[in-house]
Amino acid sequence: MKQIIGIGNALTDVLAQVSDENVLRVLALPKGSMQLIDDSRLPDIRRAMQQMMISRATGGSAGNTMLALANLGASPAFIGKVGDDETGRFYADNAVSKGIRPLLIQSGLPSGIAHTFITPDGERTFATYLGAAGDMQPDDLDETMFSGCDYLYIEGYLVQNHALIRRAIELAKAKGAKVCLDLASYNIVAADHAFFTELVTESVDVVFANEEEARTFTGKEAEEALSSLGRLCEIAVVKMGKRGSAILCQGERTFVESMPVANVIDTTGAGDFYAAGVMYGLLNGWDMVRCAKAGSLLAGYVIQVIGTTLPEKAWEEIRTKLLCYRP
């Protein structure tokens, strides 16, 4: 199996279910978005969360994808930055216990936290305090981190640091690795459209986007957006929620239906787990149909739980089903 390294914001998810959307309006959080918050807004978010039932898990977009890959039997690595605090130790210990090789840099800032509000329809809205995660710098990276790397997986939430992303790509490409990019969130794409365009056009081999992100990036609806993205890189993926997903690989288009789910609990991590399924297929040399089916399978499982922590029984079922996809 080929090797993959993820790089992203090392965030611990603090998840809360809300009974209605009013709390989002009070906190000025657009539903379905990811908003970066600073020290001035953090107390309001924490006070709101104190009134709710919460759970905690390691997160971050690329971190979620590496976690899912580790549970499938891959041996991913993850590059991120954490604080010298309990949250940072929780993140590192969880990575090791799940089979991820943590390449974690330490910061003097507190570890980052993604406050996640889940509405009754399963939609998630993030108020993210980056802390140490946002302190990662180009000089934190060195070529030894990328030894044996076949794929570098970058989360778009790192876009606030152009130099860091460029350095990671430079080091990965020097090792012969292909570069994968998840566009992260429609508002993130809109805020830094020019840089995303530069990345996809010049450096990225595999791009992942949901419908909103694809529309924001290309100005087109899903099918036409896929064609536009596919002209820019080797593999373009557009996720369309319950309507399925489409992949364009070197001119060949693949469509796969989503996994039927009777009760969607929480869409947190659905895109990240879908990407893990696709990347698992690529690591094993599968064709695009098998890759897309694997992505649909993982996304279908994770939306049936709160957060991204699946019980081992679920992972056993997933691994068994994936056996049927092997060539």
Q: Cβ contacts of residue 61 below 8 Å, gap of 6+? A: 8, 9, 155, 156, 157, 182, 184, 271, 272
Share of residues in the chain with pLDDT > 90 (%): 82
Give the pLDDT band of residue 160 (cuts 50, 70, 90).
confident
Token pair belonging to 183: 């566009």
Q: What is the DSSP string of 39-96?
A: TTTHHHHHHHHHTS-EEEEEE-HHHHHHHHHHHTT---EEEEEEESSHHHHHHHHHHH
What is the dihedral angle through the alpha carbons of 133, 137, 138, 144, rounded to the nearest 10 degrees?
Answer: -60
Q: What is the CATH number of domain 4-10+60-110+137-323?
A: 3.40.1190.20
The amino acid present at 322, given as its one-letter code, is L
State the chain's mean pLDDT as an integer: 94
| Pairing relationship of beta strands 124-129 and 112-118 according to DSSP bridges | antiparallel
Question: Cα(192)–Cα(205) distance, rounded to whole angstroms?
Answer: 20
Question: Percentage helix, strand, coil, to 5, in the chain?
Answer: 45, 25, 30
Whether residue 266 has pLDDT greater than 90: no
Residues 228 and 289 sit within 8 Å (Cβ to Cβ): no
- Report, as an integer, the average pLDDT of 189-203: 96
128 neighbors 36 (Cβ within 8 angstroms): yes
pLDDT over threshold 90, residue 20:
no
Q: Where are the domains of the chain?
A: 4-10+60-110+137-323
Cβ atoms of residues 150 and 1 within 8 Å: no
Among left, alpha and beta (phi > 0; psi -120 to 50; other), residue 99 is left
Query: Residue 268: which pLDDT band, with cuts at 50, 70 and 90?
Result: confident
User: pLDDT tens digit string along 306-323?
Assistant: 878 899 999 999 999 999
Single-letter code of the amino acid located at 132: A
pLDDT number for residue 123: 87
Task: Sort strands 4-7 and 151-155 into parallel, antiparallel or unpaired.
Answer: parallel
Q: Is the CA virtual torsion 99, 83, 182, 214 positive or negative?
A: positive
| Residue of higher predicted confidence among 273 and 32 | 273
pLDDT at 50 over 90: no
Q: What is the mean pLDDT of residues 249-257?
A: 95
Q: Give the separation between CA 219 and CA 213, rounded to whole angstroms.
A: 10
| Calpha distance 135→131 (Å, rounded) | 7
Q: What confidence tens digit (pLDDT) does each residue in 197-228 have?
A: 999 999 999 999 999 999 999 999 999 999 99
Averaged pLDDT, 15-31: 92
pLDDT for 265 equals 87
CB 248 within 8 A of CB 226: yes
Contact predicate 188/156, CB 8 Å = yes
Rounded mean pLDDT of 237-257?
A: 95
User: What average pLDDT does the segment 222-243 reach?
Assistant: 96
The model's confidence at residue 259, banded by pLDDT at 50, 70 and 90, is: very high
pLDDT of residue 325: 85
The answer to whether residue 57 scores a pLDDT higher than 90 is no
Q: What's residue 98's pLDDT?
A: 93
Compute the radius of gyration of the chain from its Cα atoms. Answer: 18
